[in-house]
Amino acid sequence: MIEDTRVDSPTHTGAAIVDAAARLLQEQGAAAVTTRNVAKEAGVQPPTIYRLFGDKDGLLDAVAESVMATFVAAKSAVVDAAAADDVDPVDDLRAGWATQIEFGLANPVLFTLMNNPGRGTDSPATRAGGEILRRRVHRVAEAGRLRVGEERAVALIRSAGTGAVFTLLTTTPGDRDPELATAMFDAVLREIISNAPEQADDTRITTVVAMRAIAPTLTELSSAERQLLAEWLDRSIDRA
């Protein structure tokens, strides 16, 4: 279907409303994002907002989706470039962490909205962001440096990142510890990354995790054999 880009089209009007709401949110805070203010900023009548977004919550969801989609697209390009340039996967993971912390601190209202357990969980942009983190973690696993399962690593990173941002956001700017987020990430790395041969005991589990990462690509095996291998490896990782 060809997108309707006429100036008076619902698509164009909706985009103008989202842009207006995003500007108000960024410049004046959540309290400024009222139907009246947004309508005035976008040059539309208030009923148009209700017709396109339902209510203020629907509009805020659309704003969050728009901002996150732009952010995720930029992150995805960085991940692709890192893979193509053979950037160290742990360094790439650290860069992604820093970007996420920066986004959260720069967009406190949207970050809170997207991480509210009751909202944002089905957002395409949120799911895409999670997939980018999984790709980064997967590269670490393929390199034989991950000593926990990929899903556990993703959960630990997401939990630590969200906690770090919320801790910083709820601390007076002048009292914030500038090294907090870095220290948190380093703590997570100690939990999930092997520095073999310094941690020789990790050799077995990192090998199993690496094997699990590449198992779906072993086309020499049948689909059923790949699935069975993955199940065996998952069981081994869970028991490690």
pLDDT at 201: 56
155 with 43, same domain: the answer is no
Q: Are 75 and 99 in contact (CB under 8 A)?
A: yes
Tell me if 136 is assigned to some domain. Answer: yes
Q: Are 38 and 64 in contact (CB under 8 A)?
A: no
| The most confident of 20-34, 87-101, 192-206, by mean pLDDT | 87-101
Tell me if 138 is assigned to some domain. Answer: yes
pLDDT higher than threshold 90 for residue 90:
yes
Mean per-residue pLDDT for 94-121?
Answer: 82
Q: 205: Cβ–Cβ under 8 A, 6 or more apart, which residues?
A: 147, 148, 194, 237, 240
Q: pLDDT-derived band of residue 205, with 50, 70 and 90 as boundaries? A: confident
Tell me if 135 is assigned to some domain. Answer: yes
Mind listing the pLDDT tens digit for each residue in 37-51? 999 999 999 899 989
190 with 77, same domain: the answer is yes
Tell me if 210 is assigned to some domain. Answer: yes
145 with 40, same domain: the answer is no
Q: Are 221 and 158 in contact (CB under 8 A)?
A: no
83 with 42, same domain: the answer is no
111 with 225, same domain: the answer is yes
Tell me if 27 is assigned to some domain. Answer: yes
Q: How far apart are CA 51 and CA 109, in angstroms?
A: 24
126 with 12, same domain: the answer is no
The residue type of 146 is L
Tell me if 172 is assigned to some domain. Answer: yes
**CATH code, domain carrying 32:** 1.10.10.60
72 with 47, same domain: the answer is no
42 with 80, same domain: the answer is no
Q: How far apart are CA 133 and CA 143, in angstroms?
A: 16
46 with 120, same domain: the answer is no
Final residue belonging to a domain, choices 54, 83, 99: 54
pTM: 0.73
Could you tell me the two tokens for 76? 């995805």
Q: How far apart are CA 157 and CA 173, in angstroms?
A: 24
| Domain boundaries, position 49 | 1-54
* Residues 64-75 as b or e (16 or more Cβ within 10 Å = b): bbbbbbebbeeb
Mean per-residue pLDDT for 119-133?
Answer: 73
pLDDT higher than threshold 50 for residue 2:
no
pLDDT higher than threshold 90 for residue 163:
yes
Tell me if 40 is assigned to some domain. Answer: yes
Number of structural domains found in the chain:
2
39 with 139, same domain: the answer is no
235 with 117, same domain: the answer is yes
Q: pLDDT-derived band of residue 5, with 50, 70 and 90 as boundaries? A: very low
Tell me if 61 is assigned to some domain. Answer: no
Mind listing the pLDDT tens digit for each residue in 57-81? 788 878 887 887 777 777 777 667 7
Cβ burial, residue 176 (10 Å; 0-12/13-18/19+): middle
Q: Are 123 and 186 in contact (CB under 8 A)?
A: no
pLDDT higher than threshold 80 for residue 222:
yes
45 with 91, same domain: the answer is no
Q: 133: Cβ–Cβ under 8 A, 6 or more apart, which residues?
A: 96, 154, 157, 158
DSSP-assigned letter for residue 107? -
